[in-house]
Structure 1
Amino acid sequence: MELRHIRYAVAVAEEQHFGRAAARLRVAQSALSSQIRDLEKELGVELFARTSRSVTITPAGQIFLERAHSVLGAVSRLVADVAPDPTTAIRRLRVGMIAPLARVDLAAVVGRISQRFPNTSVTLLPRPSADVLDGIASGDLDLGIIGLAPGRPHPGLAVTALWTEPLSLFVGPDHHWAQRNSIRLADLSEMTMIDRPAGSEARLQSDHAFTRSSVPRGRILEADSADLIGKLTAAGLGVTLLPSSLASILPELHMIDVIDAPTRTVSVVTNPEHANAVIAAVVEDLIASSVAK
């Protein structure tokens, strides 16, 4: 097994398509398919289930992918550590992030980093905060932009707050509060709400706010993306607390100020053991961008 086999398998897994993976790798699709077959033969397992229309990763392939990210990350750090000039070293920067992030222009950040470090390949990976924390700790990810619940220690990781903003209440267009401009948290007592899954960092922040205010929570419908939460809320299945900055991407919902609003803090997380010039530059840029907002 060679490094190219690992890179090829990762590309196919992430693109879920041999043609797109081949274009990304700049190799012939037939050569890519042959290399993947050779790798599967050497491993004695199928990494991908293929049909005429799709490519899906198998359970064995998922395990391989997780380990492959660690291997490629280690190789990237090895190259970075011995490279004399960080602007010319070939790097691969994997950023785990919650989505959407309305308070920072990630495209602009990536553009500036690409100009400063032209040989760096940046991959943005929307993931739950807990998965990002695991990836940073293991080395699968280089940097994370996530919301963190208050008071939770994250040993071994460097956490820098980017911004804190209030949560607002969002209701559907036909909700009986659709004409209101403000409420108090107590008004949500026992009300059906749409929220993130139990145990997630965002949910822990919401639960903490209700517990601190002694407001009992009612029925909770869970969804793991802002888009799904917005759709469930628009359908009238409940109301939701979300960062105020998301109003621009949820125009179908009515936003109501919460007078005693809880807040949500978004932070950038890195692993000091894996520090390099590119990661430091991204952190610096994110901090500057968030302050400018």
Structure 2
Amino acid sequence: MELQQLRYVLAVAETNSFTQAARRCLVVQSALSHQIARLERELGTRLFERTSRRVRLTPAGTAFLPAARQCLDAADRAAAEAAAAVGEIRGRLAVGLIPTVAAVDIPAALGTFREQHPDVRISLRVGASEDLVEQVKEGSIELAFLGLPTTARPTGVEARELARDRLVAVVAPDHPLAGQATVSLRRLSKEVFVDLPARTAGRAQTDQAFQAAGLDRDVAFEVTSADFMARLIAAGLGVGLFASSYAPQLTGVITIEVTDAPARIEYVVWSPTGRTPAATAFLTLLDIR
């Protein structure tokens, strides 16, 4: 069994196409097909069902895939560690982040990192805090930038607190509250809300604040994208709450201080079992050691 064969299997599984997989791997399709067929003969089972219309994993292929990914990740890690021993940072840096991260200027940090370490492949995954923590635990990403209510803390990972922030109300320019300097949660509870999906960490801080005040509110729109939340708010479909450090990035809306606003904490987290050389270098760039 060869690492290149595993890479071919992953490429086919991810594209559902031998043609696209060959294109991604920069080989001719016949060579890729031959290597996968050779691997299947060695395993004594087929990894893919092939028809004229589609390609999909067999049950054996589905079972084979997680360990194949681990093998490739381990091989990449070994190469990166060897390079780091002689002062070269290579390999992969997979970073997860919430859409509203504000404690770190991610584009600027990645730009500097790329200049210092051009041989590192960088990927970004945007998602909810709780999902990103799980991805760090399973090793699919090395680092993640989260935002959590003050009542929660990342578990099962190494964590460093980056910043604390209070939320502000965000409304359309022609909203009746737009001219107010401050607003209370009680007054906001009379409005229709645009918010993140229920049972996400980003939503929890707001839900908990209203519940603690004994208030109900109407969340008419649940949106996974902070930018699209702001667009709905700008269109007058509701009001929202954003971290005060992130709100200045929004356009077409007005921000108002909330007198009894909930707070959030931003963290960076990484695996407790160790960091890749690239992850260590990126954290060092952020002065986190």
Normalising by structure 1, what TM-score? 0.77
RMSD (Å) for aligned C-alpha atoms:
3.8
1:187 alignment counterpart? 187
Report the AA paired with residue 88 of structure 1: E
What is the alpha-carbon distance in structure 2 between the residues aligned to residue 58 and residue 126 of structure 1?
Answer: 27
1:258 alignment counterpart? 258
1:104 alignment counterpart? 104
Deviation, structure 1 residue 146: 1.4
Cα deviations across residues 72-122 of structure 1 (Å, max 9, x unaligned)?
333333334455626325311111111243443223222332344343222
2:121 alignment counterpart? 121
What is the alpha-carbon distance in structure 1 between the residues aligned to residue 112 and residue 14 of structure 2?
Answer: 25
Report the AA paired with residue 232 of structure 1: L
Bigger drift between 74-83 and 269-278 goes to 74-83
Bigger drift between 13-22 and 154-163 goes to 13-22
What is the alpha-carbon distance in structure 2 between the residues aligned to residue 58 and residue 178 of structure 1?
Answer: 55
Deviation, structure 1 residue 68: 5.5
Gaps of 5+ in 2: 41-45
2:281 alignment counterpart? 281
What is the alpha-carbon distance in structure 1 between the residues aligned to residue 212 and residue 30 of structure 2?
Answer: 56
What is the alpha-carbon distance in structure 2 between the residues aligned to residue 189 and residue 18 of structure 1?
Answer: 54
Whether the aligned pair in 2 keeps the contact of 1:70 and 1:138 (CA below 8 Å) is no
What is the alpha-carbon distance in structure 2 between the residues aligned to residue 145 and residue 33 of structure 1?
Answer: 42
What is the alpha-carbon distance in structure 2 between the residues aligned to residue 100 and residue 15 of structure 1?
Answer: 30
Whether the aligned pair in 2 keeps the contact of 1:66 and 1:140 (CA below 8 Å) is no
Question: Quick check: 1:35 aligned with 2:38?
Answer: no
> Equivalent residue of 2:130, what SS?
helix
What is the alpha-carbon distance in structure 2 between the residues aligned to residue 62 and residue 268 of structure 1?
Answer: 32
Whether the aligned pair in 2 keeps the contact of 1:172 and 1:252 (CA below 8 Å) is yes
Question: Quick check: 1:204 aligned with 2:204?
Answer: yes
Whether the aligned pair in 2 keeps the contact of 1:172 and 1:233 (CA below 8 Å) is yes
Report the AA paired with residue 124 of structure 1: L
Normalising by structure 2, what TM-score? 0.78
- Structure-2 change in CA distance of 1:240 and 1:117 (3 Å): same
Whether the aligned pair in 2 keeps the contact of 1:190 and 1:217 (CA below 8 Å) is yes
2:47 alignment counterpart? 44
Cα deviations across residues 142-176 of structure 1 (Å, max 9, x unaligned)?
11111123333544311111112221111123322
What is the alpha-carbon distance in structure 2 between the residues aligned to residue 24 and residue 234 of structure 1?
Answer: 41
Q: How much identity, in percent, do the aligned residues show?
A: 32
What is the alpha-carbon distance in structure 2 between the residues aligned to residue 133 and residue 235 of structure 1?
Answer: 33
Count of residues paired in the alignment: 281
What is the alpha-carbon distance in structure 2 between the residues aligned to residue 83 and residue 57 of structure 1?
Answer: 37
What is the alpha-carbon distance in structure 2 between the residues aligned to residue 45 and residue 12 of structure 1?
Answer: 9
> Equivalent residue of 1:151, what SS?
coil
What is the alpha-carbon distance in structure 1 between the residues aligned to residue 261 and residue 166 of structure 2?
Answer: 6
Bigger drift between 119-128 and 12-21 goes to 12-21
Question: Quick check: 1:79 aligned with 2:79?
Answer: yes
What is the alpha-carbon distance in structure 1 between the residues aligned to residue 151 and residue 174 of structure 2?
Answer: 38
1:291 alignment counterpart? none
Cα deviations across residues 13-56 of structure 1 (Å, max 9, x unaligned)?
8899999987876x25xx26852686489443269x989xxxx9
- Structure-2 change in CA distance of 1:45 and 1:24 (3 Å): closer
